[in-house]
Amino acid sequence: MNWIAVKYFSLDHDLSALSRYLHERGLEHRITEENAQQCLAVTDAAVIPALQDFLQQLEDGRAQLPSTTAEPLVTPPYIQAGAAQPSLLVQAMHTPIVLALILLSAVGGLLVTTETGNLFLHYFSFQDFTDTQYIPIGESLSGGELWRLLTPIFLHFGIFHFLFNSLWMWDLGRRLEILQGKWGFLLFVVVTGIASNLTQYMWSGSSNFGGMSGVVYALVGFIAVRQRLNPHPLVAVSPALIGFMLVWLVLCMTGVVDYFIAGSVANAAHLGGLVAGAVYALFTGRYFLR
């Protein structure tokens, strides 16, 4: 049975009323002592966002635990045994960074694939460009256009490019956003996104590249390393999935995939993201204990 840590409490915090309340609603959980703290853990990842919201309401005084079996002032959603899986909308609301990344990727796809979007594309590419030349990246950065280091991750060259990256972000990204918290996950995206873009630029030079796949491979690298250093059920991804992504990386690097798509695959961004995610896990693997 996989236990997922939800929240840590000090040892002097009496959790008996909370445990009794959760038991009455059939929520399987346990409270253990870890690193001089009490750890509340559950087995169902689907209830974590609602349970964390409820715990925050208790902490803020917006809800209270009953002294009897009466209902509390605020009843959190789907914290009952056998509750239905939350809708996609509810899940998306609990991982706002992932939702924002997918929406921005859709906007970036429109910049690339529509005539009107093309008028604004050069503002978000790694290098600014005109009809005849690329502007050196150093000139743009010295002029304060630092966003160029990151914004290429949102540019997508076709619907399949967008769907492929968005599906992986939805599956893997939500895991990390719950694990790291929204601000921790946002930092992860910024760091690994910039790393993958810089790697691609250093490999290919002046070219118009983009896509979220560098960050997706950073997710893969982080999960693969994190699960070896400090396993956590939230990132307990099947080894077969990690293997598939690595095989796909190698296949793309052979150039075979380029025959079936317009343009070419940004292989250096994939590899740079993979390495960046793995290094990120090495340095932060023991910080995310949610």
Statement to judge: residues 43 and 110 lie in one domain:
no
- Identify whether residues 107 and 71 lie together within a single domain: no
Which of 25, 69, 70, 68 lies closest to 50, judged by CA?
25
204 domain-assigned: yes
Choice among 140, 166, 213, 232 that is catalytic:
213
Residue 61, helix vs strand vs coil: coil
Active site residue 166: no
Dihedral pair phi/psi, residue 176, rounded to 5°: -75, -30
- Residue 289 falls inside a structural domain: no
pLDDT tens, residue by residue, 44-73? 777 888 888 888 888 877 777 766 444 444
Residue 269 and residue 138 in one domain? yes
Predicted confidence (pLDDT) per residue in 69-88, tens digit:
444 444 444 444 444 556 67
Q: What range defines the domain where residue 61 resides?
A: 4-83
The total number of structural domains in the chain stands at 2
Position 290 in a domain: no
The answer to whether residue 103 is domain-embedded is: yes
CATH number for the domain including 169?
A: 1.20.1540.10
Which residue has 């979220």 as its token pair? Answer: 212
270 is catalytic: yes
Identity of residue 119: L
Averaged pLDDT for residues 4-22? 84
Provide the CB-side half-sphere exposure for 256 (13 A, CA): 7
71 and 190 housed in the same domain: no
Catalytic pick among 29, 94, 232, 270: 270
CB 7 within 8 A of CB 52: yes
Q: Which of 56, 83, 110 is the last residue of a domain?
A: 83
Helices (H), the chain: 16-24, 48-60, 88-94, 96-113, 115-121, 137-142, 159-168, 174-180, 182-204, 213-229, 239-253, 267-284
Confidence tier at 14 by pLDDT (50, 70, 90): confident
- Whether residue 170 is found in the same domain as residue 273: yes
Q: What radius of gyration, in Å, describes the C-alpha atoms of the chain?
A: 22
User: How confident is the model at residue 283, as a pLDDT?
Assistant: 86
CATH number of domain containing 53: 3.30.70
Q: Is residue 190 part of a domain?
A: yes
pTM: 0.69
Residue 239: inside a domain: yes
Angle value at C-alpha 196, between 192 and 202, nearest 5 degrees = 140
Q: Worst-scoring range by mean pLDDT, 83-87, 164-168, 197-201, 261-265? A: 83-87
